[in-house]
Chains A and B, each alone.
Chain A
Amino acid sequence: MTNDIAGLDKSDVALIIGSDTSEAHPVIAARLKKAARKGKLKIIVIDPKEIRMADYAEIYTCQRPGTDVAVLNGMMHLIIKNGWEDKKFIEERCEGYEALKEEVDKFTPEYVERISGIPAATLEKIAELFGKAETAALYYAMGITQHTTGIDNVKSTANLQMLCGNMGKVGGGVNPLRGQSNVQGACDMGGLPNVFTAYQKVGDAPVQEKFERFWGVSLSDKPGIPMTVAFDKAYDGEMKAFYIMGENPMISDPDLHHAEAALKKLEFLVVEDIFLTETAKLADVVLPASTYAEKSGTFTNTERRVQLLFEAVKAPGEAKHDWQIHQMLANKMGQNWNFGNAREIFEEIRKCTPSYAGMTYERLGFNGLQWPCPTEEHPGTPVLHIGKFTRGLGLMTAIPFKAPAEMPDADYPLYLTTGRILQQFHTGTMSRKSPGLNNLAGPHAMISVQDAEAIGVKNSEKVKVTTRRGSIVTTAFITKRCPKGTVYVPFHFAEAPANALTINALDPVAKIPEYKVCACKIEKV
């Protein structure tokens, strides 16, 4: 998030696009709902499902999956046409406006309606509410990113917010809601193939030199490969070994049959986890690790807030903290690491990570600190890009519309889209150990009333969902919240894994799979 959670009630308007907020980020949803019911906030929801947040929205509309660029371009078309753009902000703080203006020119409401299914009149209402707002925030989650046009979608959200001058101010911003407790931190710590900590680029000479001096070895300056690509290379026999810490790609990866075949072709697979997960079962060596409650350390949340965890219980048996395992391995392989606890590691992180340099465990205290926090006197940064963008001028980019990789056709006539539900989490390694949560939510497919009637399936009956990758049998959950022509399957369930159905089509740059759109058919079992 460019902005902070506490500031969300300072917005006049919030656009929620591609985030089922009350299911996936319930506490942020609560704050948005409160701001809408008790405060001044007006919510706009654009989502293929009529999500619960729509009940709190001023305007809800349903777009066809994978048409977000067209919708956002259409909003910008109307905002520019009506003169609601922030001319001063564009003039002083952005570049690329002319190209953007030219591109969105053809996205008339009628044209957008043909692509997205959103009635022209509704788009006009949305553009007016958003465009005329003094301060508007934009919230998205994987509904924007998990597309072959993921980067295009994200850039479009940034275009819109720069166009309306909503960047660098309280209550505004482009606010991706991050889906896992420390996904932000894993990125910040250099858990990505092309960057060291704090996004310092691999291959950048001064950065290479800095880390070579800091770690006392010569380092590869060749960026690594993303996980989605590594699976393809493992399948081709090019990759030989995987070391997987606390992840379960056997549920979370696209096209699971392909992922399983890839893992089985490896010469050596190490899995470090808390349970014998679907992935760990394929491993040659399994290393037992600790849960959040068994360790001290820090997580960084979606608003870049670094917060402390404290050890509450002991890990079972001989299970260790992940860092202890890494240290044993590093030392076995000839290094001499001497970390005594998490705090000592954090002290090392500070030394090579400019955005964390000013943080100490003492300073993190009760509230934590939001990066960037470059010095020990710095109060942290709740809102990014105030006065100036990190790169200088904000770059507006002309984004043409591209259709998803696989569209419904005669053989597979429905859209399949996947996501989360409130009562379960990700691959279920944690949440599915709770009998209560399992009683509340099992595997299902959300199907529209019309599509269910067409195949004669009733609520709670079994239904088979099939794509070109595979099929699953699951329970039909027939709901008016699903529009005709779209099936929604949550991906948490190993016994009916949504990712046995999804397509392994990736965004060309981000390499994120298109979980949110592919073609499927349904049959009564």
Chain B
Amino acid sequence: MQISMNGTSIGAKPGQTIFQAARDNGIFIPTLCYHDKVGAAGKCRVCVVEIEGMNGLQTSCSVEVREGMRIQTRTEKVINAQKLVVDLLLSTGTHDCIACDQNGKCELQNAAYYLGLERGSLNYGVPEKDMDESSEFVFVDRNKCISCGRCVAACNGTVVNEVLDFKYRGNKVDIAFDDDLPMGKSSCVQCGECSQICPVGAITDRNSRGKARHWEVEKVYSVCPYCGVGCKLELHVDRKANKIIRVNGVEGAPTNDGMLCVKGRYGYDFVGHEERLRNPLIKNPDGTFRDASWDEAIDLVSRKFFEIKSKHGADSIMGMCSAKATNEENYTFQKLFRQVIGTNNIDHCARL
């Protein structure tokens, strides 16, 4: 269907919200509480627009498009309302971006930038809140929380771990883990869904803090190396340092739709670990290992395989391929055994 946005005719799909149609057409409407996965909350009121024939401002995240609808996203009335909301948020809490890990990805920063607001103009004197560093992998800074409710919705409605909720009312409102325990003492399983979905720097990945900002990393798709669900990963990589900085789940992926578990999201230390094997090793007669070149190692393996094959037959050699290697590598491994060594003795730990 066709709708009009800021005087321009654009295409939209039935059932879409105004916000979604705008996004699909490259028109920016700031939003804080809306996320595709947790849906419209209609809470933050930053995504308001004017719709011809409707009274007052409407939240674009919750109003569906209709044929011929005429929408304005940048009228004075809209901008003033958005400015008021963002000003209130900037005035409550400490929204200093300088060393924030969310810098460049922060949706409050985006909204403030769009509206030209440098800092909050109201002085509430909100008391500074303690950082919650009790969790192994997740860092919580409530001073940056804007009470959008995404993390609460995600924890209860997406991953259904039912740990996060709001406590208190009014300007005391805050997120709480279980019965207001420190995160690390709560029943949280540290899947990190709250961190991935947080629009600001309130919930971030502890191990990534200060390692690289969002625009400094290259994003590479991969698949989780742990269980067999096949969760799609977005690895955030610092190519120069040859390091994984952060792992996100890929939103919209058919397997995991952005969700991950504690291992998939945070258990990547092994990749760049100092104990990784760097070169072939050959065992000395005294049982210790010495470094060897590839030529020497491959030479030795092929010589020993020939020797054992000619003495005891190919069926005295067993190959174990790997449930953690790729299809391509498992294929070449069984081909090596069947075509080159000449035995069907191939198995792996599918049963273990």
A406 within 8 A of B: no
B7 within 8 A of A: no
A243 to B328, CA, bound (A): 18
A367 to B255, CA, bound (A): 9
A38 to B333, CA, bound (A): 45
Checking A217, A222, A230, A332 against B318 with a beta-carbon cut-off of 8 angstroms, the contacting residue is A230
Task: Determine if A183 and B228 form an interchain contact, defined as CB atoms under 8 angstroms apart.
Answer: yes
Task: Determine if A298 and B328 form an interchain contact, defined as CB atoms under 8 angstroms apart.
Answer: yes
Checking B224, B229, B260, B348 against A227 with a beta-carbon cut-off of 8 angstroms, the contacting residue is B348
A484 within 8 A of B: no
Binds B, one of A104-112, A333-341, A387-395, A472-480: A333-341
Q: Interface residues of B toward A: which range?
A: 35 or more
Task: Determine if B343 and A224 form an interchain contact, defined as CB atoms under 8 angstroms apart.
Answer: yes
Render A188-203 as a binary contact track against B, CB cut-off 8 A, 1 for contact: 1111111011000010
Interface residue ranges of B250-279 to A (CB < 8 Å):
253-256, 259-264, 266-273, 275-279
Task: Determine if A425 and B220 form an interchain contact, defined as CB atoms under 8 angstroms apart.
Answer: no
Task: Determine if B323 and A243 form an interchain contact, defined as CB atoms under 8 angstroms apart.
Answer: no
A residues within 8 A CB of B312? 240
When A184-B228, A297-B327, A323-B332 are in contact, do A228 and B351 touch as well, CB less than 8 Å?
A: yes
Q: Interface residues of A toward B: which range?
A: 35 or more
A329 to B306, CA, bound (A): 12
B residues within 8 A CB of A24? 227
B207 within 8 A of A: yes
Render B152-192 as a binary contact track against A, CB cut-off 8 A, 1 for contact: 00000111110000000000000000000000000001110
Render A165-197 as a binary contact track against B, CB cut-off 8 A, 1 for contact: 000000000000111111111111111111011
State how many angstroms separate the Cβ of B183 from the closest Cβ of chain A: 13
A residues within 8 A CB of B339? 215, 217, 219, 330, 335
**Chain B residue with the shortest CB-CB distance to A425:** B226
Checking A193, A217, A313 against B344 with a beta-carbon cut-off of 8 angstroms, the contacting residue is A193
When A191-B346, A367-B254, A422-B262 are in contact, do A220 and B326 touch as well, CB less than 8 Å?
A: no
Checking A287, A317, A429 against B270 with a beta-carbon cut-off of 8 angstroms, the contacting residue is A429
A267 to B316, CA, bound (A): 10
Checking A177, A274, A437 against B267 with a beta-carbon cut-off of 8 angstroms, the contacting residue is A437
**Chain B residue with the shortest CB-CB distance to A246:** B322
A330 to B335, CA, bound (A): 9
Interface residue ranges of A1-35 to B (CB < 8 Å):
4-6, 22, 24-28, 30, 33-34
A246 to B333, CA, bound (A): 11
State how many angstroms separate the Cβ of A218 from the closest Cβ of chain B: 9
**Chain B residue with the shortest CB-CB distance to A288:** B277
B residues within 8 A CB of A274? 270, 276-277
Q: How many A-B residue pairs have CB under 8 A?
A: 465
B residues within 8 A CB of A306? 327
Task: Determine if B344 and A222 form an interchain contact, defined as CB atoms under 8 angstroms apart.
Answer: yes
State how many angstroms separate the Cβ of A312 from the closest Cβ of chain B: 4
B305 within 8 A of A: yes
State how many angstroms separate the Cβ of B321 from the closest Cβ of chain A: 4
Interface residue ranges of A419-444 to B (CB < 8 Å):
422-425, 429-431, 433-437, 439-440
**Chain B residue with the shortest CB-CB distance to A187:** B350
Interface residue ranges of B279-303 to A (CB < 8 Å):
279-283, 289, 292, 294, 297-302
A83 to B341, CA, bound (A): 56
Task: Determine if A430 and B351 form an interchain contact, defined as CB atoms under 8 angstroms apart.
Answer: no
B340 within 8 A of A: yes
Task: Determine if A293 and B222 form an interchain contact, defined as CB atoms under 8 angstroms apart.
Answer: yes
A247 to B267, CA, bound (A): 19
**Chain B residue with the shortest CB-CB distance to A431:** B267
Task: Determine if B262 and A298 form an interchain contact, defined as CB atoms under 8 angstroms apart.
Answer: no
**Chain B residue with the shortest CB-CB distance to A270:** B301
State how many angstroms separate the Cβ of B263 from the closest Cβ of chain A: 6
B133 within 8 A of A: no
A300 within 8 A of B: yes
A242 within 8 A of B: yes
A434 to B348, CA, bound (A): 25
Task: Determine if A246 and B324 form an interchain contact, defined as CB atoms under 8 angstroms apart.
Answer: yes
Pull 25 A–B residue pairs with CB atoms less than 8 Å apart, ordered by A.
Answer: A25-B229, A179-B323, A181-B323, A182-B326, A185-B330, A239-B318, A241-B305, A242-B317, A249-B352, A274-B277, A284-B304, A286-B282, A287-B301, A292-B224, A297-B327, A297-B328, A301-B223, A322-B322, A328-B298, A333-B340, A345-B328, A345-B332, A349-B327, A349-B331, A434-B267
Tell me the B residues contacting A by CB distance below 8 Å. 136-137, 157-161, 189-191, 207, 218, 220-232, 235, 237, 239, 242-244, 253-256, 259-264, 266-273, 275-283, 289, 292, 294, 297-302, 304-306, 308, 311-312, 314-352
* 9 other A-B residue contacts (CB within 8 Å) besides A192-B350, A224-B346, A241-B304: A178-B227, A228-B351, A242-B320, A247-B322, A275-B275, A284-B304, A286-B281, A318-B278, A366-B253
